[in-house]
Structure 1
């Protein structure tokens, strides 16, 4: 049976935003603010404009140095580590139809938390949509994709059944 990847641990936002990109954006924004401050801020003789310009210059300098360091002198092994995890002996796969699908909202101090659980070939899985929920398509619960009878292949950790990858039959 052919499957397509519906969700994978490599799709997480922490894997898609690189640290060098953060420093690039900080440097661009600080440079724009520096130019605006230099052009439009009036000098009242109280050193406010000079202090702002120096501080923005320091932020720009630090962030541009960090951008070049992280982009050209460090190597990001994130994808290799994820692939190594997905193919390690701590991980198992199960293939079959979803059964006993449940979606409920338990009483929680964290606000509205939706918990979904289901079984695939007698292995029970459960996940919740909390804290950073609804930021990617997997944690958006009640989306109608998972339901009883759906053919899936799930890659998960053997010890605690944490879902690492979900593939749905075509």
Structure 2
């Protein structure tokens, strides 16, 4: 008999939130910011303290400080989890959505230089989605492929993972 799929199985199969694929940062309290900085995690400076993603405390798809993770991490519920909890999505269907998200995320990562994260690429894409048009030759082709991969990933994330007020593409 196959093992039952629960929230933990979905989260540990995914990790896209902590990897920086869904959002750029998570808001922290001042105490959490101090704790995360002491652990070597990069902080986001914006409207209050935040944890910049990708989180360096992620190991594969699992949190290495799960029991002590910040409140924003404890409270976050992606669209897949909310629909699963609400009975709108069966475990196998949720796993399939996650698998597609991971595949799309991997496709983006394969096109990035090693020092660039998906979160950084997404920020650049949001700021100038037509950047690839200003390039020529192989650079233009590479940038266009990245723009297409980021668009595909963000459409999937908007449709299945982000809430309506956090969607990036306006097309999902």
Instruction: Indicate the TM-score class for this superposition, using the shorter chain for normalisation.
Output: under 0.3
What TM-score, normalized to structure 2?
0.25
State the structure with bigger RCO (CA 8 A, min sep 6), 1 or 2. Answer: 1
Larger gyration radius, structure 1 or structure 2 = 1
What TM-score, normalized to structure 1?
0.25
**Structure with greater helix share of residues:** 2
**Structure with greater strand share of residues:** 1
